[in-house]
Amino acid sequence: MAQTSKNIAIIGSGLVGSLLAIYLRKKGHSVTVFDRRPDIRTIKFSGRSINLAMSNRGWTALRKVGLEDPIKQIAIPLDKRAMHVNDKPVYYQKYGKEGEAIWSISRGILNKRMIDLAEEAGTVFKFNEKVWDVDLPGAKIYTGESEKGEWQEYQFDVIFGCDGAFSRVRHKMQRRSRFNYSQNFIDVGYKELTIPANADGTHKLDKNSFHIWPRGEFMLIAMPNIDGSFTCTLFLPFEGKVSFESIKTEQEAKDFFKEYFPNVRMEIEDLTKDFFNHPTSAMVTMKCYPWTYWNKVALVGDSAHAIVPFYGQGMNAGFEDIFVLDQLMDKYGDDWDAIFDTYQKVRKPNADAIAELSYRNFVEMSSKTADPKFLLQKKIEKHFASTHPEKWVPVYSRVTFSDKPYADALAIGDQQEAIMQKVMQTPNIEDKWDSKEVEEMILGLLGDQ
């Protein structure tokens, strides 16, 4: 169904805001994007970002507006994890089937490119313009130099809040009665570090791997950039015996890397300088409901559902929001009440599911990767999945390489876990993990469901 052209404001020029602008321009709407920060294309990027892992849902949303190919040019496919354990050779774990990969992209490069594309599509960007208040029923926004200074009023037909985990737009909704909201920080923080390219521009580590140095309570990861460098992220508890709090001097930072990351520390550029210059960032799971106000205002992406990054799905989930919104606009035309109400009802359970899966991955990475029983369970699952691929799709694949709802992935994952809990109680399971008996047991348990 066609839509009448509306005058639409998007708050936030991040990845979700700029992709939404492109979608809305395709539908013929006037689009103005406000951002309180300067144009990211004119400044040095912050040194506090984790590289993005674009997977199936992200590509699906980009493909719809013809952006899959241009964005793939700034992305690198990773088809496997590279696990770095001290005193052992690196070992590799394939992510999925042949041809399945996640794609590493620098957030800064992608965001700049997306803003370029949105601008080419006719979006008006207003950078350095701070939104201080939103009149939700009136679809008005108020901007100005400071919260207490003079404000300018803008009237729109529809407003989208794409202003991230600490959204001003949501903040306004949050003060209303019957608005459910939660923000929960985890006790682990992260810090960005860099492995530069070789002199000839090639990568110092395998370019098509997601590199992980798991160390129990903490870990280092590295993802490749197209300039030959890697963006590394150190995840470490804020407080405790080995923690950001406990590393206060350059010597302590050096000792920490020497002890835990001896094989990579020499590759990291400006290790101790960056360690103290780059901020230590926190990670939050944010949930809220409702996501919309009448037919006037909707939250999209992190402003509606911020998640911890351990499933690599934050951007993908936000892009999928847009893909779903677009389908609902096709379906409901000018009935923005129906568009917004269906949008929040469809997306909320999926957002909750990927929040839960992401949090569980954090727990799994922190505390289970060293547990032999857990590793055996994963080995059995993998073996069974390769024998019966039609009967057992791993949750990771369902999340990363399919368009099936996140909520289904969570539910099916819980069923699989219940089955595996029973399987793991089999006496001497470690000796017969790949036996016909175990295979038959799983088949039987699957049949019971």
Residue 177 makes contact with its own copies by CB under 8 A: yes
| Closer by beta carbon to its own copies, 128 or else 174 | 174
**What type of residue is 284?**
V
Three-state DSSP class for residue 411: helix
Name which position in 44, 88, 175, 241 contacts its own copies (CB under 8 A). Answer: 175
Joined tokens for residue 238: 């804020």
Name which position in 4, 86, 155, 182 contacts its own copies (CB under 8 A). Answer: 182
Residue 179 makes contact with its own copies by CB under 8 A: yes
CA distances in angstroms from 113 to 13, 41, 153, listed in the order given: 12, 9, 30
Q: How far apart are CA 134 and CA 116, in angstroms?
A: 27
Binding part of the chain for its own copies, among 20-28, 76-84, 171-179, 416-424 by CB under 8 A, reads 171-179
Name which position in 5, 183, 251, 386 contacts its own copies (CB under 8 A). Answer: 183
Name which position in 86, 93, 184, 251 contacts its own copies (CB under 8 A). Answer: 184
| Closer by beta carbon to its own copies, 150 or else 200 | 150
| Closer by beta carbon to its own copies, 166 or else 294 | 166
| Closer by beta carbon to its own copies, 33 or else 288 | 288
Binding part of the chain for its own copies, among 7-15, 103-111, 174-182, 401-409 by CB under 8 A, reads 174-182
CB of 338 to its own copies, least distance (A): 18
CB of 281 to its own copies, least distance (A): 8
Contact 112, 41 (CB under 8 A): yes
Closest CA to 192 of 50, 40, 366, 313: 50
Helix axes 406-423, 372-387, angle to 10 degrees: 110
CB of 245 to its own copies, least distance (A): 12
Angle made by CA atoms 236, 242, 243, in degrees to the nearest 5: 45
CB of 178 to its own copies, least distance (A): 4
CA 128 to chain centre: 26
Residue 178 makes contact with its own copies by CB under 8 A: yes
CB of 176 to its own copies, least distance (A): 10
Binding part of the chain for its own copies, among 96-104, 180-188, 357-365, 393-401 by CB under 8 A, reads 180-188
CA distances in angstroms from 396 to 83, 84, 90, 405, listed in the order given: 17, 21, 22, 13
Residue 238 makes contact with its own copies by CB under 8 A: yes
Name which position in 43, 282, 363, 375 contacts its own copies (CB under 8 A). Answer: 282
| Closer by beta carbon to its own copies, 91 or else 185 | 185
Name which position in 42, 98, 99, 148 contacts its own copies (CB under 8 A). Answer: 148
Give 401's contacts (C-beta < 8 A, 6+ positions apart): 55, 56, 95, 96, 97, 100
User: Is beta strand 131-135 parallel, antiparallel or unpaired with respect to 52-54?
Assistant: unpaired
Name which position in 91, 92, 181, 276 contacts its own copies (CB under 8 A). Answer: 181
3-state percent breakdown (helix, strand, coil) of the chain, nearest 5: 40, 20, 40
CA distances in angstroms from 256 to 207, 234, 241, 246, listed in the order given: 26, 12, 12, 10
Respond yes or no on whether the N-terminal peptide bond of residue 349 is cis (omega within 30° of 0).
no
CB of 278 to its own copies, least distance (A): 15
Residues that contact its own copies, how many (by CB under 8 A): 16
* Interface ranges with its own copies (CB under 8 A): 147-148, 166, 174-175, 177-185, 238, 282
